[in-house]
Structure 1
Amino acid sequence: MSSVKELVESKCLSSVPSNYICLENPEDSILNYETDNIPTIDFSQLTSSNPSVRSKAIKQLGDACRDWGFFMLINHGVSEILRDEVIRTSQGFFDLTEKEKMEHAGRNLFDPIRYGTSFNVTVDKTLFWRDYLKCHVHPHFNAPSKPPGFSQTLEEYITKGRELVEELLEGISLSLGLEENFIHKRMNLDLGSQLLVINCYPPCPNPELVMGLPAHTDHGLLTLLMQNELGGLQIQHNGKWIPVHPLPNSFLINTGDHMEILTNGKYKSVVHRAVANTKATRISVGTAHGPKLDTIVGPAPELVGDDNTASYRAIKYSDYIELQQNHELDGKSCLDRIRI
């Protein structure tokens, strides 16, 4: 299966090949919110030594998880130099020859490093305008050795990202009325799963006919995302698609299915999608943070009661990932499979 980047570079494309044409129109039901309508969390306030400031930030964090499942994170302390280097070296990976990239064309879902195209070409009825690199980076770090410096840059970046997410999960635990380290202990995060997904969306001659990634939710607890200067992420809120325009030097954070399962639906995973453009290649770098792969996750007993019965059956995290990856991406269809 050729990559989208190879397809674009090998032909002077004037139109999209028929096997990429998607019936879902990315322009349907777009509601252009201003950027400041999307919740913004100030990380420096969330970690403040002032109890009043921190308490207010924790409430804002809980509100964002409950009402949106999505927020921008500012003042996070990750240097712009490092962020830029991650984007630059990620682009450098996709600029390698197809032969070099195919050295990482893993066939198995849990291969340490896996390069590919679309989502799952064995089940996708329509191919998506997207190439990807997936690396399992925790509890064991894995990354390609090319281009030079790529692995070292990623290792520094994902370590800082994990520290941010651990702090966010502490705030989320408190926002739920639980002890600060509740999620950390329950999900065994010291050995938790951290999956790095780098997406490459090459320019497309007919972006209205294709989808970078269709409407879906992520499988983990939280996903931390950054991207180059090109937009393309859209989130679903109150039945409308909202294009996301990130604040400078911010991270985008979204809740995943296992946050919804663990909180018994109090905090829901957010449906989102990626669209293509005609201008240039969009690079996004997402890190999905979840429990240890063999952890069985169900609604926390502390959040279940007589008037709030369990809404999801418990499932091993690795089994849930397989369930999602072996079916077409389609909104919350994977979560619906374990809904009681």
Structure 2
Amino acid sequence: MLGVKELVDSTCLRSVPFNYIFLKTPEDSTLYYETQNIPIIDFSELTSSNPNERSKAIQQLGDACQDWGFFVLINHGVSETLRDEVLRASQRFFDLSEKEKKEYVGQDIFDPIKYGTSFNVMVEKTLFWRDYLKCYVHPHFNAPSKPPGFRETLEEFTRKGREVVDGLLKGISLSLGLEENYIQKRMKVDLGSQVLAINYYPRCPNPELVMGLPAHTDHGLLTLLMHNELEGLQIQHNGKWIPVYPLPNSFFINTGDHMEILTNGKYKSVVHRAVVNGKGARISVGTAHGPCLESDVGPAPELVGDDNPAAYRAIKYRDYIHLQQSNQLDKKSCLDRIRI
């Protein structure tokens, strides 16, 4: 199927094709500008040798996961030079010819490298204004060999991302009153799945009529996200849609469905969506960090009791991904299927 970028580049597109028109409710179209309330976590404080400073950051991290399922991460140690190179290299990948990119078209959800468009064209009635490259980068690293240097840049970036997530998961474990390495051990994170998703949202002649990605949550524990200079991420908080804007050299962090399952609902996965614009192409780069694919994930026994019974049934991580990726994206519909 023709990608959106190819559609835009190969024609003098003045209006959106009908199969991309996304019907929105008035609630979907109303935005609330509450960005000043979005939590900001300082990674240098979270990993500080000063116990008081670290304790305060752990409390802030727990509050962010419980109240928002989302936060902005600063002072994380990933250089701006590397982040910029990832974005430039991603643009070069999507600038390859359609023939070159189609070398990576896959049919299976678990293909190590997969180039595609929309989300799941096999089941979608409405297509989304998005092309993507998805790579499984851990425990085994996979990435395209084109363009030159792309693979090496992604390998360094995703390795740095794992280091950041390691620090975040330690802080989250402590915020729950658990041993520091609890989540890493229980979820077998050393063998855990890390999926890189690079999303390309081309300029759109009628951005108000389409959706880059609809409202959904992420599988896994945490997602690290960054993008180029064009905004487009919106999160849902207390039923309101809030556009979010990055601080310089920051990451957006989403808590995923498996963090919600593991914590028995104490920490919530965040519903979010991607909108597009008429000014230029937006690129976002996300890495979803999850358990080992073969791990059964259910609520942690330490967080379940007579007064707080298990709210989710355990499910193998691989099976959950298959369930989510085989259906249409629809808020928390996948998570709802395993609620008790």
Same fold (TM over 0.5): yes
Specify the alignment match of 2:304 in structure 1: 304
For residues 60-113 of structure 1, the C-alpha deviation after alignment (integer angstroms, 9 at most, x for no partner) is 000000000000000111110000000000010000000000000011111100
**Structure-2 separation of matches of 1:70 and 1:266:** 14
Specify the alignment match of 2:30 in structure 1: 29
Specify the alignment match of 1:243 in structure 2: 243
**Structure-1 separation of matches of 2:306 and 2:268:** 21
For residues 139-166 of structure 1, the C-alpha deviation after alignment (integer angstroms, 9 at most, x for no partner) is 0000001111100000000000000001
Q: Name structure 2 gaps, 5 residues minimum.
A: none
Helix, strand or coil: the match of 2:309?
coil
The within-5 A match list for 1:316-335 is 316-335=316-335
TM-score normalized by the length of structure 2: 0.99
**Structure-1 separation of matches of 2:223 and 2:102:** 26
**Structure-2 separation of matches of 1:24 and 1:171:** 38
Helix, strand or coil: the match of 1:64?
helix
Amino acid paired to 2:249: N
The within-5 A match list for 1:107-186 is 107-186=107-186
**Structure-1 separation of matches of 2:132 and 2:167:** 28
The within-5 A match list for 1:6-155 is 6-24=6-24, 28-33=29-34, 35-155=35-155
**Structure-1 separation of matches of 2:220 and 2:126:** 25
**Structure-2 separation of matches of 1:110 and 1:47:** 34
**Structure-1 separation of matches of 2:50 and 2:254:** 26
Helix, strand or coil: the match of 1:107?
coil
Contact 1:215-1:273 within 8 A present in 2 as well? yes
For residues 200-230 of structure 1, the C-alpha deviation after alignment (integer angstroms, 9 at most, x for no partner) is 0000000110000000000110000000000
- 1:32: how far off? 1.0
| Structure 1 residue ranges (4+ consecutive) displaced by more than 6 angstroms after TM superposition | none
**Structure-1 separation of matches of 2:153 and 2:18:** 38
Amino acid paired to 2:10: S
- 1:125: how far off? 1.3
Q: Name structure 1 gaps, 5 residues minimum.
A: none
Alpha-carbon RMSD: 0.8
Contact 1:27-1:208 within 8 A present in 2 as well? no
TM-score normalized by the length of structure 1: 0.99
- 1:24: how far off? 2.3
**Structure-1 separation of matches of 2:195 and 2:246:** 22
**Structure-2 separation of matches of 1:24 and 1:174:** 41
Aligned residue-pair number = 339
Amino acid paired to 1:208: E
The within-5 A match list for 1:247-286 is 247-286=247-286
Seq. identity, %: 77
Contact 1:215-1:271 within 8 A present in 2 as well? yes
Amino acid paired to 2:283: I
Helix, strand or coil: the match of 1:242?
strand
**Structure-1 separation of matches of 2:2 and 2:244:** 30
Contact 1:40-1:71 within 8 A present in 2 as well? yes
Amino acid paired to 1:320: Y
- 1:36: how far off? 2.9
**Structure-1 separation of matches of 2:230 and 2:276:** 10
**Structure-1 separation of matches of 2:85 and 2:116:** 22
For residues 241-271 of structure 1, the C-alpha deviation after alignment (integer angstroms, 9 at most, x for no partner) is 0001110110000100000000000001000
